[in-house]
Amino acid sequence: MNTKVKCLECNKEFGAITSQHLKSCCGMSLKEYKEKYPDVETVSETIRNIRKKNFQAVNKLELTVYCSECGENPIERSPAIHWKYVCDECKAPETYPGKIYLPEKDLVICQICWQGMEQISWMHTRTHGLTLSEYRKMFPKAWVTNKRLIEKRREKHTGKNNPAKRAEVRKKISKSQKFKAIDYINKYPWIFPTIEKIRDNLGLIEVMCKKCGTWFHPTPIQLQERIRSLSYGADGLYMYCSDECKGECPLYRLQPLEYLKEHVGKVYTEAEYQTFRQEVLKRQKDEYGYNFCEMCGKKKKLHVHHEKPQKTHSIMSLDPDNGIVLCEHCHLKKAHIESCSLGSLANKIC
């Protein structure tokens, strides 16, 4: 009686060749494997007999079945019907103490529980109360991914499979790099050159370093992230010409909103501000019959803006005559470009 069957794709032996194994290791389904090897058994006689025995027990409503792995240990089954019954001895994972990798099985070994697996993921390290980065620091020489997955990922991002080598992607990249300084100034006039200094040098965009003030060529990602940050009304993600300037600049990774809360503070409470806001909206509605943005005329997503900043004219912070009604777009992109705005920090050189 044969107890093992051999997979002809990977030459490994199993009690039964499952669809999960074929999908993860061989990239094919069980149906495709049977069509490719029609005369090869996928289930050993031992496993087939165990399944037959358990099937008869289930049909007769017997509550005792046998382990699908070893076929010896009896199991008191639950009323629910399962395809597979495994005893406690077979459930216990095989451990490999003192090893970091098993070349014969292509498995990496967890250095805490000594279990073998294809990849040590963050979900597994979480069972030990660790993050994946903490696990890497604790065991710097330990393997985290087996050779098969490493090679699979390498093939995915090299050669013809590399996204950067596709024609449509290269065309998109080249188009994004053809922007000139004047294009950015026309598209984002409230950022360039109002907040961020920019110039065109022989067809290449140059910006000023936040730390040393020298001109350098930024990457497209640096420009996109800087624009995105300012578009959401928060100053940050400054551009630096080198890692040295980035490390020496005290504004690197500074959150302006948190800084102003700590050093400037609020000159009024939330309840006082809501009273001020409602009064400004009420005065406009009494005069015109409805509320609208005083810059573009929109009627949705309305804010109340201080004409004279509360940081410089705190005495007028709750004066309704100092408030105007603006929409969200005008409030963030047109009103907050004066010295009162968080974006003014970008014009300062360390």
pLDDT digits (tens, 9 = 90+) for 182-237: 888 888 887 888 788 888 887 778 888 888 889 988 888 888 888 887 776 666 67
Task: Select the more confidently predicted residue: 26 or 139.
Answer: 139
| pTM of the predicted structure, to 2 decimals | 0.33
pLDDT at position 350 over 50: no
Quick one: average pLDDT of 260-268?
A: 57
Q: What 3-state class would DSSP assign to 66?
A: strand
d(CA 212, CA 232): 26
Structure tokens at 16: 């039964």
Bridging pattern class, strands 116-117 and 198-201? unpaired
CB 16 within 8 A of CB 42: yes
Q: Residue 346 pLDDT > 50, yes or no?
A: no
Q: Please determine, for residue 269, whether its predicted confidence score (pLDDT) is greater than 60.
A: yes
pLDDT (0 to 100) of residue 92: 67
Distance in Å from the first CA to the final CA of the chain: 81
Residue 156: pLDDT band with limits 50, 70, 90? confident
Confidence of residue 267 (pLDDT cuts 50, 70, 90): low
Q: Tokens representing 113?
A: 């529980």
The proportion of the chain whose per-residue pLDDT surpasses 70, expressed as a percent, equals 72
Q: Tell me the pLDDT of the chain averaged across its residues.
A: 78
| Highest mean pLDDT pick, 161-165, 173-177, 257-261 | 161-165
Specify the range with the lowest mean pLDDT, choosing from 9-13, 129-133, 149-153, 156-160: 156-160
How many CB atoms sit inside 10 A of residue 132's CB? 15
Q: Is the pLDDT of residue 176 over 60?
A: no
Residue 347's pLDDT band, with cuts at 50, 70 and 90, is very low
130: its two tokens: 């660790």
Spatial separation of the C-alpha atoms in residues 31 and 345, rounded to whole Å: 64
Residue of higher predicted confidence among 83 and 5: 5
Of residues 197 and 110, the one with the higher pLDDT is: 110
